[in-house]
Amino acid sequence: MDYSIIKVTGSDSNTFLNGQLTSNVKILDVNSFQKSALTDIKGKLISEFFLLKESDDTYFLIVQKSLIVSTLERLELYLIILINYILSNN
């Protein structure tokens, strides 16, 4: 199986990922990984992957190549909502 890597960085990456993924990102230690998943709003599985924590603000999602587009689309959807929320509350 071929895999791709999604890098998520930033001071809010922990909070963002913890709100989107099925696993508890906040308990993950640096240089550790856990299996996780991303679902749609109805709970339908979009993708399963390994989540690696490199540092307190850097994570890597190791995703099957066949699922990379749907995973990115789902994460970007909520990222745009988060950015709009931040901008409208400043």
Q: What is the pLDDT of residue 81?
A: 52
Q: What angle do CA 4, 40, 65 make, to 5 degrees?
A: 15
9 or 55: which leads in pLDDT:
55
| Residue 81: CATH number of its domain | 3.30.70.1400
- Alpha-carbon distance 4 to 62, whole Å? 6
Domain count across the chain: 1
Instruction: Note down the domain range covering 50.
Output: 3-88
* pTM, entire model: 0.83
Q: How would you class 61 by CB atoms within 10 Å of its CB: exposed for 0-12, middle for 13-18, buried for 19 or more?
A: buried
Q: What is the pLDDT of residue 44?
A: 94
- pLDDT (tens digit per residue) in 32-77: 999 999 998 899 999 999 999 999 989 999 999 999 889 988 888 8
